[in-house]
Amino acid sequence: MRLLDLYCGAGGASVGYHRAGFEVIGVDILPQPHYPFEFVQGDALDFLQNRAGALGFDAVHASPPCQAYSSMTRGTNAGQGDHPTHVRIVRQRLIQTGLPFVIENVIGAPMRKDLLLCGTMFGLDVLRHRLFELGGWRIGNPPIHQRHRGGVTDWRHGKAKVGPYYGVYGRRAGRRGVIAEWQEAMGIDWMVTRRELTQAIPPAYTDWIGRRLALVAA
């Protein structure tokens, strides 16, 4: 089975689907030198509308830019207007394909809350809550959301705070964990920059989703 991963970044979602049995092709507007599968650099919406139909995909995943909906962005001077808001148009075009699809984004994005996943559900040491909207199919009960054992390693008000989890955001080395700690917390070993990791989701999420999606797409 073939899956198209739109806005794929360095491939956090793609690797999960690959582990679930899909052949994955990723599309992103930016170069992704560490993406582990076949990669097309280009506009995701243009690819979906003009090229995807000829390649025989069985399902589609899309992770549109999330900065406009992120609580961290809303708490800064950046503002929503400085970031693209693609969720609605992506949904429209995915529905037109007639394929089962998954849209992933942060809490606060304008999407149906079919599924909420966090790293604690998969035994990971990362607090990364993500919403998933499912199109053309449904899913069973998610893993149990484990009670948090404490806070996030961070640096606040000039003092270091050490917790059992990592937030995996920001770019200042050492204050929220070094790259090796982020890689282990996310279950990712092929991404080597902080930017790649901050933009990714743990593959465990889409491995779990993909094994259920495969039953529908087959």
Condensed to tens digits (0 to 9), the pLDDT of residues 134-146 reads 999 999 888 887 7
Q: How far is it, in rounded angstroms, from Cα 185 to Cα 202?
A: 9
pTM of the model: 0.88
Could you give the dihedral angle defined by the CA atoms of residues 185, 20, 3 and 205, in that order, rounded to the nearest 10 degrees?
A: -30
Pairing of strands 115-117, 101-105: unpaired
Provide the pLDDT for residue 173. Answer: 54
In a domain, 135, yes or no: yes
The answer to the question of residue 151 being in a domain is: no
Q: What is the pLDDT of residues 59-96, one digit of tens each?
A: 999 999 965 554 444 444 444 455 457 899 999 999 99
194 part of a folded domain: no
Listed in sequence order, the DSSP H helices in the chain are 12-19, 44-50, 71-74, 87-97, 179-186, 194-198, 203-217
Residue 12 pLDDT greater than 80, yes or no: yes
Neighbouring residues of 145: CB distance < 8 A, sequence distance ≥ 6: 116, 118, 120, 121
**Class of residue 3 by CB neighbours under 10 A (exposed 0-12, middle 13-18, buried 19+):** buried
Domain span at 87: 2-140+201-217
Average per-residue pLDDT for the chain? 87
- pLDDT > 70 in the chain, percent: 86
Average pLDDT on 5-24 reads: 98
Output the pLDDT for position 153.
72
Query: What are the DSSP E strand ranges found in 13-153?
Result: 23-28, 38-41, 59-62, 101-105, 115-117, 130-135
- Interval 168-216: pLDDT, tens: 877 655 567 789 989 999 999 999 999 999 999 999 999 999 999 999 9
Q: Does residue 30 form part of some domain?
A: yes
In a domain, 19, yes or no: yes
User: pLDDT value at position 95?
Assistant: 95
CATH number, domain containing residue 115:
3.40.50.150
Confidence bin at 157 (pLDDT 50/70/90)? low
Rounded Cα distance, 20 and 96, in Å: 25
Asked whether the predicted pLDDT for residue 109 surpasses 70, the reply is yes
Centre a 10 Å sphere on the Cβ of residue 157 and count the other Cβ atoms it contains: 5
Q: Which residues have CB under 8 Å from 207's CB, separation 6+? A: 16, 17, 19, 20
Residue 174 lies in a domain: no
3-class secondary structure, 103: strand
* Number of domains within the chain: 1
- Cα dihedral 135, 191, 155, 64, rounded to 10, equals -30
